[in-house]
Copies of this chain bind each other. A is one copy, B any other.
Amino acid sequence: MTTNELYSSYEQKMQRIADIKFATAVLQWDQETNMPVKGAQFRGQQISTLTELSHDLFSRDELGNLLQDLLAKDDLTIEQKRNVERNWEDYTKNKKYTSGFVRALSEQINQTFHAWIGARKQNSFALFEKDLDKLIQLKKQETDILGYQDHPYNALLDEFEKGATVSLLDQTFHDLLPPLKEVFNKIISKPQVDDSFLCQHFPKDEQWKWGLLLIKELGYDMEAGRQDISEHPFSISFNAQDVRITTRVDENDFGNMTWSCIHEVGHALYEQGLPTAHYGLPLGEACSYSIHESQSRLWENNVGRSKAFWQYYYPTLQQHFPQQFGAVELARFYKGINKVQPSLIRTEADEISYHFHVYIRYELEKKLIEGSLKTNEIPHFWNEHYNNLLNVTVPDDKRGCLQDVHWSHGSFGYFPTYSLGSFYAAQFYSSAKSNIPELEEQITKGQTQSLLHWLRENIHAKGRFYTSEELCKQVTGSGLDVSHFMGYILKKFETIY
């Protein structure tokens, strides 16, 4: 076979797998947005069957041989070569798992997830502990299956963030946390800003209209996506031409919907910007979890909580909610939406304390996987660190170590990508400003297209060509450098507090 024929055959196989994966995503989206309650049982079965099918197709020796044949070719284009290399990495990693282990893990995740649901309802970690422990033992096994250098947790980090390691994260948090804690302490010693106007009554329909207006203005292509309601906001893609987002509306909390719309649209703009020519191949996929999160955080915070942004949008917002915001001045609104305070729930945290939440989970996971912390010690560890780092007393497990779903899904190694996302966002945003000197001026006029265009060209269009670190160097001239984030925080909050 010629190289072209081999490559076409590879493309076809990968697209077929993608078709099944994206079909599964449609079933999942429907499950969260439209499915009638009784549909759950068979839907679960349908999703399992498709998941198994795509996994089976991706594990076949036939595909492995094809990838190896292609790796040996010297007349692939650079993009073709990268696609094949990335898939080969995925393939060999995937091959390490026995089907017995995959089944055991999937069954334990299912059990642990249901245990979590029950434990949250009963507000008791004890009800979760046994299943979580079994899952942690399996995740430890997984680190052996995958192999690692230096620290077993590295094997799990690598799942979500290629190249991330304990030593790198330790260093990052070591550099960042002390100055961040200093700002935080300073802020909470000052008079608190007022954000009470965000907790008035905001009618659902009007919030919905406002949310739609925002996402369209930010460049979300409604002909290649749609917004719906779900219990937890998320974004999901079935291909770059059909990327959907969901939101929820809290009539008593304006912030809930607005920034979740901006956050999810950040994810969606990334997916809509991926090259369709590489559908089903690595270059048609997002770079990594942290880079994905960098896009949502950049729009949500660096843009969506900036003074420039609201200079333009605030009058429109006031027109939508004259009763609620008519008497609130822009300066007061801006301070209110950037309020910093100790808090219990990660997803509701401000831009500063957010990283304390992530750090505590990171420390916990690391210790659980290395075996220096036992599963039953989680609540004590959690509560103690919340007290030390966030100055809050955790009143119960529901608002403490049971709050996030990730562990019940077996997603150990995921949380750090949330913080990395914010750090990359700040660094990318610095670069964007250097490259588009008139950017902030444009934003005050509601023009964010040049920013989107810059992100599209430098980040979205690249797909999974680079690792996060490589991409960061490519775009900003250096690897991850948290001083951008710290600089952003210092500059922003000295004008607020």
Contacts and interface: CB of A to CB of B under 8 A. Distances in A.
A226 B35 CA distance: 8
A246 interface: no
Contact of A19 (B37, B50, B222, B279): B50
Interface stretch (A2-10, A41-49, A165-173): A41-49
A42 B241 contact: yes
Interface string A21-50: 011101100100011111101110110111
Interface in A219-235: 221-226
A368 B329 CA distance: 76
B36 A242 contact: yes
A66 interface: no
A436 interface: no
Contacts of A331: none
Contacts of A311: none
Contacts of A23: 23-24, 27, 46, 49-50
Contacts of A41: 241
Contacts of A24: 23
Given A23-B50, A45-B19, A50-B20, A39 B238 contact: yes
A16 interface: yes
B223 A38 contact: yes
A16 B239 CA distance: 25
Given A26-B26, A34-B226, A226-B34, A239 B39 contact: yes
A225 B49 contact: no
A38 B241 contact: yes
The residue among A23, A222, A225 with the most chain B CB atoms within 10 A of its own CB is: A23
A53 interface: yes
Contacts of A50: 19-20, 23
Given A26-B26, A38-B221, A279-B42, A19 B242 contact: no
A49 B20 contact: yes
A255 to B, nearest CB: 28
A242 B49 contact: no
Contacts of A39: 224, 238-239, 241-242
| Number of copies of chain A assembled together | 2
Interface string A239-281: 1011000000000000000000000000000000000100100
Contacts of A49: 16, 19-20, 23
A430 interface: no
Given A20-B49, A226-B34, A42 B238 contact: yes
A324 interface: no
Chain A interface, >50% SS class: helix
A442 interface: no
A276 B226 CA distance: 33
B22 A222 contact: no
Given A39-B224, A224-B38, A15 B45 contact: yes
Contacts of A35: 242
Interface in A382-425: none
Nearest to A221: B38
Contacts of A224: 36, 38-39
Nearest to A20: B49
Contacts of A45: 15, 19
Interface of A: 15-16, 19-20, 22-24, 26-27, 30, 34-39, 41-43, 45-46, 48-50, 53, 221-226, 238-239, 241-242, 276, 279
18 contacts: A19-B50, A20-B46, A20-B49, A20-B50, A20-B53, A22-B46, A23-B23, A26-B26, A26-B27, A34-B226, A35-B242, A36-B221, A36-B225, A39-B238, A42-B241, A42-B279, A43-B238, A43-B239
Given A26-B27, A36-B224, 20 more contacts: A19-B46, A19-B48, A19-B49, A23-B24, A23-B27, A23-B46, A23-B49, A26-B46, A35-B242, A36-B226, A36-B241, A37-B223, A38-B224, A39-B241, A39-B242, A41-B241, A42-B279, A43-B238, A43-B242, A53-B53
